[in-house]
C-alpha cells in the first residue's frame, strides 16, 4: 500500500495507557495480565485488562454525572467527529475564563478543545489541574458548541464536590472529552476523531483521540 505525499497530517492527542498511568485518586488504575501466551498448544497472545473507563483520553456519558443519564453506548456519535478548534490557555489559572479564549472565537466550529499545559503530565496525577469556568461552557453552548475538551483529567476542579461545569454539560446536553494531550498542537482548526466504544451500560469510554489537518 502506498500513501500520497499530500496525505493530511495527523496529531495523536491521546496519552499512553499503561500500568502506572495516572488516574483520579480512588479510581481503578489500568491493569493487564496475559490470559493466554504463545507456546506449545497455544498459537496466540491474549491479554485481559481491568481499568476505569476514565483512564487516558476519554468521553464522559451523562450517566457519569446524572443518575438518570444516558450511558456512553447510547450516545449519538456526531459530536465526537468533525471540525474543532484548539485554543491555548496555558498556565493561566485554575479556571478557563471567557476572556482567556475570546481571541479565538470567530467563526467557531461546534467543537472546542482547550490546551492548558505546556507539557501534559502523562506520568503523574496533577491535583491542581485547570478546569472550565461554568460560565465559559454556557457561552460556548450559546455559540453552537456541541462538545468541549480539555487536556486535564476533568472539566471541573479536582476537589469539586458539586461538579458545576459537568452540571452545565448535563443541562445543555453537551459532550465532553478529558485527558487529552495537546502539547504539539498549534492553535487552529482541525478535524476531530474521538469515537467512544459502544459500552452499553458504562458511564464513560476510552477514546483514541486524533486531530487531522483540514484540507486546504
Which stretch of DSSP H or E encloses residue 139? Answer: helix 134-142
pLDDT-based confidence at residue 210 (cuts at 50, 70, 90): very high
The pLDDT of residue 20 is 95
119 catalytic per annotation: no
**Would you say residue 120 has pLDDT above 60?**
yes
**Would you say residue 3 has pLDDT above 80?**
no
The pLDDT of residue 208 is 98
**Would you say residue 117 has pLDDT above 60?**
yes
| Residue 5 in grid coordinates | 505525499
- Tell me the mean pLDDT in the region 130-158: 98
- Taking the C-alpha atoms of residue 162 and residue 151, their distance in angstroms, rounded to an integer, is 21
- Taking the C-alpha atoms of residue 201 and residue 132, their distance in angstroms, rounded to an integer, is 27
Rama region for 94: left / alpha / beta (φ>0; ψ in -120 to 50; rest):
alpha
Residues ≥6 apart with Cβ < 8 Å to 120:
15, 151, 180, 181, 182, 183
- Tell me the mean pLDDT in the region 138-148: 98
- Taking the C-alpha atoms of residue 96 and residue 196, their distance in angstroms, rounded to an integer, is 25
The pLDDT of residue 34 is 97
The pLDDT of residue 6 is 74
pLDDT in tens, 182-209: 999 999 999 999 999 999 999 999 999 9
Share of the chain above pLDDT 70, in %: 98
Angle between helices 164-172 and 134-142 (to 10 degrees): 20
The pLDDT of residue 4 is 53
pLDDT in tens, 21-80: 999 999 999 999 999 999 999 999 999 999 999 999 999 999 999 999 999 999 999 999
This prediction has a pTM of: 0.94
- Tell me the mean pLDDT in the region 97-110: 98
- Taking the C-alpha atoms of residue 138 and residue 164, their distance in angstroms, rounded to an integer, is 11
**Would you say residue 107 has pLDDT above 70?**
yes
The pLDDT of residue 216 is 85
Please check whether residue 206 is in contact with residue 50, taking contact to mean a CB–CB distance below 8 angstroms: no
* CATH code reported for the domain at 10-212: 3.50.30.50
List the one residue out of 150, 154, 14 whose CA is nearest residue 87: 150
Residues composing the chain: 216
| Residue 130 in grid coordinates | 485547570
Catalytic residue among 64, 88, 119, 166: 64
Amino acid at each position: 500500500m502506498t500513501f500520497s505525499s499530500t496525505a493530511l497530517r495527523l496529531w495523536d492527542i491521546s496519552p499512553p495507557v499503561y500500568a502506572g498511568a495516572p488516574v483520579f485518586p480512588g479510581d481503578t488504575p489500568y491493569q493487564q495480565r496475559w490470559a493466554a501466551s504463545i507456546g506449545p498448544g497455544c498459537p496466540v497472545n491474549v491479554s485481559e485488562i481491568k481499568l476505569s473507563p476514565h483512564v487516558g483520553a476519554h468521553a464522559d456519558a451523562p450517566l457519569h454525572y446524572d443518575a438518570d443519564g444516558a450511558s456512553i453506548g447510547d450516545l449519538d456519535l456526531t459530536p465526537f467527529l468533525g471540525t474543532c478548534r484548539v485554543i491555548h490557555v496555558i498556565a493561566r489559572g485554575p479556571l478557563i475564563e471567557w476572556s482567556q479564549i475570546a481571541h479565538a472565537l470567530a467563526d467557531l466550529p461546534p467543537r472546542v478543545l482547550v490546551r492548558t499545559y505546556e507539557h501534559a503530565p502523562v506520568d503523574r496525577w496533577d491535583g491542581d489541574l485547570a478546569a472550565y469556568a461554568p460560565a465559559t461552557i454556557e457561552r460556548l453552548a450559546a455559540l453552537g458548541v456541541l462538545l468541549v475538551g480539555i487536556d486535564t483529567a476533568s472539566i471541573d476542579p479536582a476537589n469539586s464536590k458539586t461538579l458545576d461545569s459537568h452540571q452545565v454539560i448535563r443541562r445543555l446536553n453537551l459532550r465532553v472529552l478529558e485527558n487529552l494531550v495537546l502539547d504539539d498542537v498549534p492553535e487552529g482548526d482541525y478535524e476531530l476523531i474521538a469515537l467512544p466504544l459502544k459500552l452499553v451500560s458504562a458511564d464513560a469510554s476510552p477514546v483514541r483521540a486524533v486531530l487531522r489537518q483540514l484540507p486546504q
